[in-house]
Structure 1
């Protein structure tokens, strides 16, 4: 009995020793015996003992296989992790082709353009865009255009776009901001105030062709404003700006201006100063139509503050219908370029670049007749300024009465 117990203990130690050697990848030399048989101490006729030895050997072999698998998996994971880490350290932007990469529904729901308009836009401005160089990689003008338009059309921030297109964040900033700079620098090609006599004649005809505006003789422009909330990186805070646009009868923008909401006034805008100083900025008898936020001027007609007579009420209603066209231009821009709901920029200078880019692209979309804009983004809230605008302009009151008599055929 004691001999069997001793044999079992020795066998257990040997089995563990074999398992340990196999796990550590050691090859124990096969023992050779002079008689060809193991010594009596390792011999046994006990079936239970043989089963015990066999069981432990199988277990150790299984453990060895599992250990090898674990080691191979860890090595593979480690190698993959090193590759991923290296790719994160030095990512390079690939060639982005949104027309090929996205289905029609996905494309239009994100970019708010048809693929045909997108291609027309690219063909129109690709000559203005120069390829960039980042991490020894050339970033094509098509990639710059695609990322720039994606940023403007969506409300995604730089970080989201960087993750979506698998490009480094710094390259994302560089690419998109270079697009803004290019379009802004060439914005005068797309946003044009009619200065020549022939250009002014063609411009005023756009109002005559519009059934809601043809009753206003000598009308030269519709003007509106919009309050936008933005995040300025230079100030590390959110603030508000006022975007002012002037458009024609075909809803094309002919002038744009932006300033901090606390500083804004029509008189300080570029068009306000130009109209005040240059009598030739408008043709003889020409005028703009604005809402209640604008001052009354001989060249800027706004509704009566107090509707004392029926004619004044009728005239105010016609003015509001006309001015709603420029309001609809702002709403269309908001729906197409969703970045206006979550605008982020380094400073006020960059805010102006972004808005000049958006106004330029809006005009091109109008030229191409694109109406691929989601109605679900329609927002009709009006911008009300804190300061009240007075009507203490004698020449302005006189001119408004003249326009009212012409419009109502009094």
Structure 2
């Protein structure tokens, strides 16, 4: 019995040592990511606060497989590894020499794929990225846009951005953009508070914004609303087609004209699209053009959508934006000086769009004159 008791004691002590070793291993892993136990450092390294990370883990844990063996990477550390990669765009930033002892690059890559797949589950996407589907939601957006920018009927702003990636193994021509690199073209629609309501990553960098919009369910939805008589607009740049539900700037308006007034108000409101994309890329620098995502096109699309989900989580929680250093902003601007894309307009659609825009311009002009 004494021998049996000694064996049990030894086994318990051995198990305790293994547990302590595992706790130290997990702690070393996180510490070597640079983590200190403050929300400021969580946000600096992972872009989410500790509370938001816990919320994310709760959301996606049904879609994550727990570690199969003792010493495997926990779900929390898979999430931290993924967030650190999104924030920096570099494996080297999250895999220092000490960390590599515990998380190899191959393990980190698998962890990132697992978490990205979990965030891309339809239930998660629908929870955080949602285009207004009923009249009451649209009216709230119209009121917010009008209060901020004085353009009635607006529910969102739209813009496209290129996310660079390595050369794909198949259909390279679909992803080679006019700026001379391979990319996904992400078309994003935002609300006045810089939340992302819709992101389309279906097409490669060779595809124009106008084509992506013309082949989206958003266009069909807006057409249906317009046909019922509802006034509803997206605001886009001249790369998008002029439609009764898509307002783009007037070309070369006369100084002091009603068209110039319209353009000024349009530019002020549509600046939210540029700011939304700028904040998205500032937070998650894996999306910056010079980072170049080393994944296949499908995975690149999933990473973009995952970052959009996380952007909305941060934005709605009031997490402050992360400003890009000036040298990174210059690099981004240099690569992304995209030539104006010719939009695809049929004559009837173009005439309808011109008429709708003319009515809006006149309405804005009358409103301006009443205020004087």
| 2:259 aligned partner | 312
SS of 1:223 mapped into structure 2: strand
Q: Does 1:142 align with 2:91?
A: no
Task: State whether residues 85 and 94 of structure 2, in contact with CA within 8 Å, keep that contact through their aligned partners in structure 1.
Answer: no
Contact conserved, 1:159 with 1:169, CA < 8 A, in 2?
no
User: Which of 90, 96, 110 is the equivalent residue of 1:156?
Assistant: 90
Displacement of 1:404: 1.0
State the partner residue of 1:122. 54
Aligned to 2:8: none
Q: Higher mean Cα deviation, 304-313 or 337-346?
A: 304-313
* 1:335 match: secondary structure: helix
Q: Find the aligned partners of 2:303 and 2:358 in 1 and give their Cα distance.
A: 39
1: CA distance between counterparts of 2:98 and 2:88? 12
Q: Are the structure 2 counterparts of residues 136 and 158 from structure 1 closer, same or farther at C-alpha, using a change threshold of 3 Å?
A: farther
* 1:299 has 2:245 as partner: yes
Q: Identify the residue that residue 363 of structure 2 maps to in structure 1.
A: 406
Where do residues 201-350 of structure 1 align in structure 2 (5 Å cutoff)?
201-209=139-147, 211=148, 213=149, 215-232=150-167, 234=169, 239-258=182-201, 259-269=203-213, 272-276=216-220, 279-280=223-224, 284-308=230-254, 310-341=257-288, 342-350=291-299
**Gapped runs of 5+ residues in structure 2?**
1-23, 368-372
Q: Distance in 1 between matches of 2:312 and 2:238?
A: 26
1:188 CA drift (Å): 1.6
1:189 corresponding residue in structure 2 = 127
1:300, 1:400 → 2: CA distance? 9
Conserved in 2, the CA contact under 8 Å of 1:294 and 1:389? yes
Residue 370 (1) aligns with residue 370 (2)? no
Q: Match of 1:242, SS?
A: strand
Q: Give, in angstroms, the shift of residue 232 of structure 1.
A: 4.6
CA 287–278 in structure 1, closer or farther in 2 if over 3 Å, else same: closer
Distance in 1 (alpha carbons) for counterparts of 2:259 and 2:131: 31
- Matched residue count: 313
**Alpha-carbon deviation of 1:169?**
2.3
Say whether the 8 Å CA contact 2:90–2:286 is kept in structure 1: yes
Shift of 1:141: 1.9
SS of the residue 2:165 aligns to: strand
Partner Cα separation in structure 1 for residue 159 and residue 287 of structure 2: 16
TM-score by length of 2: 0.74
Q: Deviations over 1:104-159 (max 9, x none)?
A: 5654443345xxx3422432442422244366544322111111110100021379
The structure number with the bigger radius of gyration is: 1
Instruction: Describe the superposition over 1:259-309 as per-residue Cα deviations: whole angstroms up to 9, x where unpaired.
Output: 212123434348744323664457811011011221111110000123246
For 2:344 and 2:168, the matched residues in 1 are separated by: 36
Task: Say if 2:225 and 2:232, in contact at 8 Å, map to a contact too.
Answer: no
Q: TM-score, normalised by structure 1?
A: 0.67
Return the alpha-carbon distance in structure 1 between the equivalents of residues 235 and 340 of structure 2: 21
Q: Check whether the contact 1:224–1:327 (CA below 8 A) recurs between aligned residues.
A: yes
Do the aligned partners of residues 156 and 276 (structure 1) sit closer, same or farther apart at CA in structure 2, a change above 3 Å counting? same
CA contact (8 A) 1:128 1:182 kept: yes
SS in 1 for 2:208: coil
* Alpha-carbon distance between aligned partners in 2 of 1:347 and 1:112, rounded to the nearest angstrom: 25
Relative to 1, partners in 2 of residues 1:137 and 1:233: Cα closer, same or farther, differing over 3 Å? farther
Which residue pairs with 1:168 in the alignment? 104
Partner of 2:136: 198
Distance in 2 (alpha carbons) for counterparts of 1:354 and 1:286: 31
Alignment correspondent of 2:19? none
Using the TM superposition, give the Cα deviation of residue 241 of structure 1 relative to its aligned residue in structure 2, in angstroms: 2.4
Q: Is the 8 A contact 1:131 1:138 kept in 2?
A: no
What is residue 3 of structure 2 aligned with on the other side? Answer: none
